[in-house]
Amino acid sequence: MDDTEKQDGKLHRIRHSSAHLLAQAVKHLFPDVHMGIGPVIEDGFYYDFLRKEPFTPEDLKKISKKMKELVSAAQPINKIELKADEEKKFLAHESLKKELYDELKAKGEKPTFYGQGTFIDLCRGPHVENTKELKHVQLTKASGAYWKGDAKNIQLQRIYGLAYETEEELKQRLQELEDAEKYNHRKIGEEMELFALFDLIGKGLPVWLPKGEIIKSEVEKFALETEARAGYVRVSTPHLAKKELFMRSGHLPYYADGMYPSMKMDDGEYYLKSMNCPFHHLIYGKKVRSYRELPLRIAEYGIVYRNELSGTLAGLQRVRMLSMNDAHIYCTKEQIELEIEDVLKMIQSYFTTFGFHSYWFRLSLGDKSHTEKYIDEPENWDHAEEVLRSVLQRLQLKYVEVKDEAAFYGPKIDVQFKNVFGKEETMSTVQLDFAAKKRFELHYDDAYGKQNNEVFVIHRAPLSTHERFVAFLIELYKGKFPLWLSPVQVKLMTVNEKNTAFAEKLFKEMKEKGIRAELDLRNESIGKKVRSAILERANYMVTIGDQEEEKNSLAVRNREGKVEQISTQSFVHRVLDEINTKC
RNA sequence: GCCCCAGUGGCUUAACGGUAGAGCAAUUGCUUCGUAAGCAAUAGGUUGAGGGUUCAAAUCCCUUCUGGGGCUCCA
Query: pLDDT tens digits, chain A, 583 residues: what are they?
Result: 333 345 668 899 999 999 999 999 999 999 889 999 999 988 899 999 998 788 887 788 889 999 999 999 999 999 988 888 888 899 988 999 999 999 888 888 888 999 998 899 999 889 999 999 999 999 988 888 899 888 888 889 999 999 999 999 998 888 888 888 888 899 999 999 999 988 888 888 999 999 999 999 999 999 999 999 999 999 999 999 999 999 988 888 777 878 888 889 999 999 999 999 999 999 999 999 999 999 999 999 989 999 888 888 888 888 999 999 999 999 998 999 999 999 999 999 999 999 988 889 999 888 877 777 787 788 888 888 999 999 999 999 989 898 888 888 889 999 988 877 777 888 999 999 988 998 999 999 999 999 999 999 999 999 999 999 999 999 999 999 999 999 999 999 999 999 999 999 999 999 999 999 999 999 999 999 999 999 999 999 999 999 999 988 899 999 999 999 999 999 999 999 999 998 7
Distance CA A312, CA A215 (A): 25
pLDDT score recorded for residue A6: 58
The H or E element containing residue A321 is: strand A321-331
Tell if A313 CB is < 7 Å from nucleic strand B: yes
Give the bases of strand B that a protein CB approaches within 7 Å.
1-5, 11-12, 25-26, 30-38, 65-75
B71 C1' to A311 CA distance, Å: 10
Collapsing DSSP to helix, strand or coil, A130 comes out as strand
Q: State how far the Cα of A451 lies from the Cα of A442, in Å rounded to an integer.
A: 10
SS3 A513: coil
Q: Which domains does chain A carry?
A: 3-175 (3.30.980.10), 187-477 (3.30.930.10), 490-581 (3.40.50.800)
DSSP secondary structure code for residue A313 in this structure: -
**Strand B proximal residues, A:435-494, Cβ < 7 Å:** none
Nearest nucleotide to A42 (CA to C1') is B73
pTM of the model: 0.89
| Statement: the CB of A541 is under 7 Å from strand B | yes
CA dist., res. A20 & res. A9, Å (int): 17
- Nearest Cα residue to A483 out of A388, A416, A556, A430: A556
Q: How far is the CA of A203 from the C1' of B11 (A)?
A: 21
DSSP H/E element including A180: helix A167-183
Q: Which residues pair with A323 in a beta bridge?
A: A303
DSSP state of A56: P
Bridge partners (DSSP) listed for residue A492: A519, A542
Whether A520 and A529 have beta carbons less than 8 Å apart is answered as yes
Q: CA torsion sign, A152 to A155 to A161 to A165?
A: negative
Q: Looking at residue A212, what is its pLDDT?
A: 95
Contact A302, A324 (CB under 8 A): yes
Whole-number Å distance between alpha carbons of A152 and A165: 37
Which residue, A417, A422, A209, A205, is CA-closest to A313? A205
Tell me what ipTM this predicted complex has.
0.91
At residue A130, the pLDDT reads 93
The pLDDT of residue A376: 79
Q: What CA–CA distance (Å, rounded) separates A470 from A411?
A: 26
Asked if strand B contacts A40 at the CB level, meaning under 7 A, the answer is: yes
Task: Find the helix or strand (DSSP H, E) in which A218 lies.
Answer: helix A210-229
Residue numbers in A 489-528, CB below 7 Å of strand B: 495-498, 522-528
Across the beta sheet with A119-122, the strand order is A78-80, A113-116, A119-122
Q: Which residue has the least CA–C1' distance to nucleotide B48? A: A199
Closest alpha carbon to A158 in A74, A231, A244, A49: A49
Q: Are A114 and A78 in contact (CB under 8 A)?
A: yes
A495 CA to B36 C1' in angstroms comes to 16
CB-strand contact A54/B, under 7 Å: yes
Contact between the CB of A42 and strand B at under 7 Å = yes
Query: Which residue blocks in A36-166 are alpha helix, DSSP H?
Result: 57-72, 84-93, 95-106
Distance CA A155, CA A559 (A): 50
Distance A190 CA to B56 C1' (A): 38
User: What single-letter DSSP state applies at residue A47?
Assistant: E
In this complex, the answer to whether residue A202 has its CB under 7 A from any atom of chain B, a nucleic strand, is: yes
Q: How far apart are CA A184 and CA A173, in angstroms?
A: 16
| Residue A202 CA, nucleotide B51 C1', distance (Å) | 24
Helix (H), strand (E), coil (C) string for A12-41: HHHHHHHHHHHHHHHHHHCCCCEECCCCEE
- Residue A378's pLDDT is 82
H/E stretch holding A301:
strand A296-305
Q: What is the torsion angle, in degrees rounded to the nearest 10, for the CA atoms of residue A529, residue A534, residue A540 and residue A545?
A: 20
In A276-414, where does DSSP find H-type helix?
Answer: 277-285, 336-354, 378-394
Q: Is strand B less than 7 A from the beta carbon of A144?
A: yes
Kindly determine whether the C-beta of residue A111 is less than 7 Å away from any atom of nucleic acid strand B: yes
A534 CA – B44 C1', rounded, Å: 27
Say how far apart CA A519 and CA A110 lie, in whole Å.
74
pLDDT of residue A7: 61
